[in-house]
């Protein structure tokens, strides 16, 4: 008989590993359980013997990994009697906060940098009914303000400094370990606020400590060159990058990220914006997977480090794709100036000629 219980989200699934009670009211949209896709064509084209998997977190309910943390943060906020949540955001956190607040029936306040979040993310915050505060300043300034406001108003912060966020996000590592049956040799992530790389390390470490697996991956964090405090060794005051999701100069998980980099024997590195966009395009064109620009930093960095030998042959590599490409249609269309597109009359001759020309060309 093929029956199985309905999938009701990562808290129900990983209840034993998360700080919830038997009678906690779970606020869930069926997040987690995202596909771990093995790349065929990209791996082949590198000419090195490596296995690359992408964890496609863009298939979470609001289109990014933030949902994993938000189901926990909002569940706990509601349990504690909170009627409102607040976050600073480059767009993905605000979408997740707004959606889970809607599901819970509470209010979401989101602070976003004016004119600097992708169109899909703006549509989400509006549709889910968040109260949106566009500030004349960047994410880091928004983060400062959120911390101050939360001291003086009855609102719960749901940025990744909320410890429940990291708890939820660690489940991505659980899923990877369960599906592979072993720890990957390397796990590559885009790094902005550094909460997600911290959460993955926590997840890997918990399964390792429980004896479920006998190894942990080396953690590699890739930043955009214009927003790369881990490469500069200090905070960056005016971060700038096309990868808006990691346009952050003052990472909130600074100390934790440095600690896990050392403990895992991993490293940080940076990519220019054009290399990030090239990796995004490569992944869509050669594997049919469309991620947002920031996400592609993980794959772009991994490919470079495989080519230059920092990641040796024989390695099993997981790259996290943090968000869905549909979040940022403008940036995608902008870089497709050479797309194969023609406008023609709706006649058989025109269609046939166009197709046969294209085949001949």
122 near a second copy, judged by CB under 8 A: yes
How large is the angle between the packed helices 273-287 and 293-307, nearest 10 degrees?
Answer: 90
281 near a second copy, judged by CB under 8 A: yes
Residues 210-269 that bind a second copy (CB under 8 A): 212
Looking at 92-100, 192-200, 254-262, 297-305, which segment touches a second copy (CB under 8 A)? 92-100
Size of the site for a second copy (CB under 8 A): 103
339 near a second copy, judged by CB under 8 A: yes
Residues 25-54 that bind a second copy (CB under 8 A): 29-30, 33, 35-38, 40-41
Q: Which one of residues 21, 23, 340, 360 is an interface residue with a second copy (CB under 8 A)?
A: 340
State the Cα–Cα distance between residues 247 and 57, nearest whole angstrom: 19
How large is the angle between the packed helices 195-209 and 254-264, nearest 10 degrees?
Answer: 50
* Tokens 């390390």 sit on residue: 201
Q: Which one of residues 116, 205, 286, 316 is an interface residue with a second copy (CB under 8 A)?
A: 286
174 near a second copy, judged by CB under 8 A: yes
Residues 1-30 that bind a second copy (CB under 8 A): 1-7, 9, 29-30
Residues 123-152 that bind a second copy (CB under 8 A): 123-124, 126-137, 141-142, 145, 148-149, 152
Strand order through the sheet with 267-271: 36-38, 51-56, 316-321, 186-190, 218-224, 267-271
Closest distance to a second copy from the beta carbon of 39 (Å): 10
Looking at 153-161, 234-242, 249-257, 299-307, which segment touches a second copy (CB under 8 A)? 153-161
Phi, psi (degrees; rounded to nearest 5) at 209: -65, -35
Q: Which two tokens stand for residue 271?
A: 């990519």
β-bridge partners, 188: 220, 319
State the Cα–Cα distance between residues 16 and 74, nearest whole angstrom: 18
The dihedral sign for the CA sequence 273, 279, 282, 287: negative
């Amino acid at each position: 008989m093929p029956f199985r219980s309905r999938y009701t989200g990562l808290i129900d699934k990983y209840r034993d590993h998360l700080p919830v009670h038997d009678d906690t009211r779970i606020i869930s949209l069926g997040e987690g359980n995202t596909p771990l896709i093995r790349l065929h064509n990209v791996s082949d084209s590198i000419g090195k013997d490596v296995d690359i998997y992408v964890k496609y977190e863009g298939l979470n309910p609001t289109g990014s990994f933030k949902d994993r943390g938000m189901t926990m943060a909002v569940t706990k906020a509601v349990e504690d009697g909170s009627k409102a949540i607040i976050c600073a955001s480059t767009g993905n956190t605000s979408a997740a906060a707004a959606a889970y607040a809607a599901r819970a029936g509470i209010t979401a306040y989101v602070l976003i940098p004016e004119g600097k979040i992708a169109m899909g993310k703006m549509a989400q915050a509006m549709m889910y009914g968040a109260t949106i505060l566009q500030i004349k300043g960047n994410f880091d300034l928004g983060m400062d303000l959120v911390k101050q406001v939360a001291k003086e108003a009855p609102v719960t912060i749901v940025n990744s400094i909320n410890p429940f966020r990291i708890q939820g996000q660690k489940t991505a590592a659980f899923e990877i370990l369960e599906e592979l049956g072993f720890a990957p040799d390397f796990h590559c992530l885009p790094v902005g606020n550094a909460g997600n790389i911290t959460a993955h390390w926590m997840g890997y470490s918990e399964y390792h400590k429980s004896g479920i697996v006998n190894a942990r991956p080396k953690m590699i964090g890739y930043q955009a060159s214009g927003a790369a405090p881990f490469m500069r060794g200090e905070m960056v005051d005016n971060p700038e990058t096309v990868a808006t999701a990691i346009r952050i100069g003052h990472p909130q998980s600074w100390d934790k990220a440095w600690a896990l980099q050392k403990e895992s024997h991993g490293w940080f590195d940076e990519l220019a914006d054009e290399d990030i966009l090239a990796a995004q395009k490569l992944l869509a064109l050669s594997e049919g997977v469309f991620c947002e620009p920031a996400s592609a930093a993980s794959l772009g960095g991994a490919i470079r480090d495989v080519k230059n030998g920092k990641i040796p042959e024989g390695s099993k590599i997981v790259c996290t794709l943090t968000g869905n490409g549909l979040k940022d249609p403008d940036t995608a269309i902008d870089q497709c100036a050479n797309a194969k597109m023609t406008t023609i009359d709706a006649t058989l001759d025109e269609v046939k000629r166009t197709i046969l020309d294209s085949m001949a060309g």
